[in-house]
């Protein structure tokens, strides 16, 4: 096995750890690992990412449900519009995108490059609120939860479409929404995010099964390593403060976004 393949499978383990630790960001790693280390086509990689992140997040969500950390009311309000949006996007919008999008100064922007660059830009936007946004109840597990229903539903629709385009579970978008719109403490936001990501990602993947040839042996191997990682991440979560988790997560997203932009455009 080549060194890049070994690093790719190590990446699968890290994806699970990141998901368990911060309730998102696993998909931010999954697509680059599949594309750059395991030579998977970007469109196929976004589909595989939905499955890997969906299964891994489901395992983490079940563990967090046992701990009483999941806020089901918020999850349901957020999830229904997100489910619809992600399925429609994967089933109809992504297959309809042309292979060659446009040309800028002689540089051809293909569908594959466009997806990765769009992915990176969304990551940079999401990171801003996590690093510089206020979070008074990040560490207060007794804070009163508030429900801004219209905004939570709108955010669900937007995250669903973005998730469908870039194959990301959307934790890097869901967590800021749960913290700012539902006023969830950071650790409850992480736990609730995992449940939303799990169901939304797997529904999105169903839209791909009908359009792509899935290499199941490889996909299940990769996913198994991520599931092992998520057990490690959920355990580590007990030892880290929510406010530190939030800023660390934001800077992690920035680093990954810069790397993707450099790789695609540099």
pLDDT single digits (tens) 30-82: 888 898 899 898 888 888 988 998 898 888 889 889 988 898 988 888 888 88
Phi, psi (5° rounding) for residue 108? -85, 120
pLDDT, tens only, 97-124 = 888 888 887 788 888 888 888 878 877 8
How many Cβ atoms sit within 10 Å of the Cβ of residue 103? 9
Could you give the percent of the chain with pLDDT greater than 90? Answer: 9
Residue 19: C-alpha distances to residues 80, 102, 114, 208, 261 (Å) = 22, 35, 25, 22, 23
pLDDT, tens only, 142-169 = 556 666 778 888 888 888 888 778 766 5
Q: Using 50, 70 and 90 to split pLDDT, how confident is the model at 138? A: low
pLDDT of 141 reads 56
Q: Using 50, 70 and 90 to split pLDDT, how confident is the model at 218? A: very high
Q: List, in order, residues 6 or more apart from 28 with CB less than 8 Å away.
A: 123, 168, 172, 252, 253, 256
Q: Report whether pLDDT(136) > 60.
A: no
Phi, psi (5° rounding) for residue 103? -120, 135
* Residues composing the chain: 266
Q: Using 50, 70 and 90 to split pLDDT, how confident is the model at 83? A: confident
Q: Compute the mean pLDDT over every residue in the chain, rounded to the nearest whole number.
A: 81
């Amino acid at each position: 096995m080549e060194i890049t393949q070994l690093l790719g499978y190590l990446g699968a383990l890290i994806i699970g750890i990141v998901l368990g630790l911060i309730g998102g960001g696993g998909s931010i790693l999954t697509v680059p690992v599949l594309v750059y280390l395991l030579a998977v086509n970007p469109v196929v990689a976004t589909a595989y990412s939905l499955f890997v992140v969906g299964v891994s997040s489901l395992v983490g969500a079940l563990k967090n449900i046992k701990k009483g950390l999941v806020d089901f009311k918020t999850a349901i309000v957020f999830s229904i519009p997100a489910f619809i949006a992600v399925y429609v996007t994967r089933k109809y919008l992504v297959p309809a995108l042309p292979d060659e999008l446009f040309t800028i100064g002689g540089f051809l922007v293909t569908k594959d490059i466009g997806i990765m660059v769009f992915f990176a830009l969304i990551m940079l936007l999401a990171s801003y609120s996590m690093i510089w946004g206020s979070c008074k109840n990040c560490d207060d597990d007794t804070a009163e939860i508030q429900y801004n229903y219209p905004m939570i539903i709108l955010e669900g629709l937007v995250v669903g479409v973005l998730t469908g385009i870039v194959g990301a579970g959307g934790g890097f978008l869901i967590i800021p929404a749960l913290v700012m719109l539902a006023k969830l403490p950071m650790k409850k936001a992480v736990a609730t995010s995992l449940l939303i990501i799990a169901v939304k990602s797997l529904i999105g993947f169903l839209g791909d099964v009908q359009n792509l040839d899935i290499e199941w042996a490889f996909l299940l191997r990769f996913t198994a390593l991520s599931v092992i990682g998520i057990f490690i991440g959920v355990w580590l979560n007990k030892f880290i403060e929510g406010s530190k988790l939030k800023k660390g997560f934001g800077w992690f997203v920035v680093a990954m976004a810069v790397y993707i932009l450099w790789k695609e455009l540099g």
